[in-house]
Amino acid sequence: MLAAFDKVVITPPLDGTWPDAFIDLKTGVLDDIHARLLLIDAQGQGGALLVSLDVLNVGLPEMQRLESALCHVTGLPSEAVWIMVSHSHSAPIVGAIDDYTGLGPWWSAVCDRIISSVQTLGRRLQPVHFEHGIGTCGFNVNRRLVGPDGCSMLPNEEGVCDKRVPVLACRSEDNSLIGLCYSYCCHPTILLGPQISGDYPGQASLALEEEHGGVALFLPGTFGNVRPHLVDDRGAFRTCIPEDAADSARQLQIGVNEGLAHTEDVEGGTVLARRLLHDLPL
C-alpha cells in the first residue's frame, strides 16, 4: 500500500479574490484555513483520494467540476474521490446557500491549488500501513428538544448523539506517523466570526499536526442535529468566544490521541470505494 498527504493554505484572499461568507472575511484571520489531501494507491488493487476543506459548504455543481478534474488527474473513478467540508461557519461559502451564491474566482483559485497538489502527490507516494482506533469526546449534544409546544433549539441530552472519535492512522515503513484521518459528530458553530477560522475542526487538525507532524484530515460526522454543548446559566445555547473553540479543539485532540493509543492494524491490500444513497424515514 502506498500513500501521500499534503496540506494547502486556502485562506482568502487568493489571487486578490474574496468569496462569500456569513461573516466579513476582511476583519482578519484567527487561524488559517486549509485543503488537506490523502492519496492512497493499492498498487493495482484500487485507490482513493480524500480532500478535506475548511469551508462552510460546496455546492453540487462546484463539487462535480472539481471531482471531474481530480478524476482526470488521478485516473480514479468518481466514487473513489471524496471531497468533504468541515462546515465551519467562520469560513467561506462555495455554492448557493440562503442568499449567498458562493461563486467566484476565489473558488477557482482553490481548485487550482488542489489540482496542483494532487499532481505532486503521485510522485510522493511511499509504502505505508494503516491502523484504526476509536476515541471519545464529549462536548457535543443533540440540539433538538421536543416538548408540548413542538421542537426547540435547546440541548437534548437524551437525544441521539455520537461521541465516538474514529481515527485512521497512516504509518511509514519505520512506523512514524505521516498522517491521519479522524471524524467527529458536531456542527462547527462555536464561532460565527468575526475572524476567519476553521472553528474546532480546523484548530484540532492544526494542533494534531503540530504534535505529531504530518497532515490531519477532519472527516465530518453526521451532525445535522448535533452542536457544541455550550450553554448559559439558563441552560440555553450561548454566544461563544475564541477560547471556547480552542478548548473544544483540545478536547477533540485528546479524543484523537485516545484513538491513536489503542489501534489495530487494517488488514488487506485492496481499496474499494462506493457511494450509497439512503432514503431517510422522514
d(C-alpha 7, C-alpha 216), whole Å: 9
Cβ count near 121 (within 10 Å) = 19
Q: By C-alpha distance, which of 63, 68, 40 is closest to 53? A: 63
For 79-103, b/e burial (b = at least 16 CB within 10 A) is ebbbbbbbbbbbbbbbbbeeebebb
Strands (DSSP E) found in the chain:
2-9, 34-41, 47-53, 57-58, 81-85, 93-94, 126-136, 140-147, 150-156, 164-172, 177-184, 215-220, 226-228, 264-265
Residues 95 and 118 in one domain: yes
Question: Are 103 and 31 found together in one domain?
Answer: yes
Of 66, 91, 126, at which residue does a domain stop?
A: 126
Task: Report which DSSP code applies to 129.
Answer: E
- The answer to whether residues 13 and 97 belong to one domain is yes
Q: What pLDDT is attached to residue 99?
A: 64
**86 lies in which domain range?**
2-126
11 vs 187: CA distance, rounded Å: 21
pLDDT in tens, 138-193: 999 999 999 888 999 999 999 999 999 999 999 999 999 999 999 999 999 999 98
Give the span between the Cα atoms of 96 and 108, in whole angstroms: 16
With bands split at pLDDT 50, 70 and 90, how would you rate the model's confidence at 278? confident
162 part of a folded domain? yes
Residue 47 included in any domain: yes
For residues 10 and 115, state if they share a domain.
Answer: yes
Instruction: Report pLDDT digits (tens) over 63-115.
Output: 999 999 999 999 999 999 999 999 999 999 887 776 666 567 899 999 999 99
Any domain includes 93:
yes
CB-based contact 95:58 (threshold 8 Å): yes
Q: Is 270 a domain residue?
A: no
Do 134 and 116 fall into the same domain?
no
Q: Is residue 200 predicted with pLDDT exceeding 80?
A: yes
Q: For the chain, what is the domain count?
A: 2
Q: From 59, 92, 126, give the residue that closes a domain.
A: 126
Residue 164 vs residues 17, 137, 145: alpha-carbon distances, Å: 38, 6, 22
Of 126, 145, 173, the residue that ends a domain is 126
3-class secondary structure, 123: coil
Q: What is the per-residue pLDDT across 113-135, written as a single tens digit (0 to 9) for each?
A: 999 999 999 999 999 999 999 99
Are 53 and 68 contained in the same domain?
yes
Q: What is the DSSP letter of 141?
A: E
| 3-class DSSP assignment, residue 29 | strand
Q: Is position 177 within any domain?
A: yes
Q: How far is CA 198 from the centre of its chain?
A: 9
The answer to whether position 273 is within a domain reads: no
- What are the backbone dihedrals phi and psi of residue 229, each rounded to the nearest 5 degrees, phi first? -90, 75
Residue 272: inside a domain: no
Examine the domain organization and report whether 109 and 175 are in the same domain.
no
Same domain, 180 and 221: yes
> Domain check: are 21 and 57 in the same one?
yes
Q: Within this chain, do residues 183 and 83 fall inside the same structural domain, yes or no?
A: no
Looking at the fold, whether 100 and 210 belong to one and the same domain comes out as no
Does residue 280 lie within any of the structural domains? no
Does 79 lie in the same domain as 55? Answer: yes
264-265 and 126-136: which strand pairing? antiparallel
Interatomic CA distance for residues 92 and 21, integer angstroms: 5
Range name among 48-52, 119-123, 220-224 with the lowest pLDDT average: 220-224
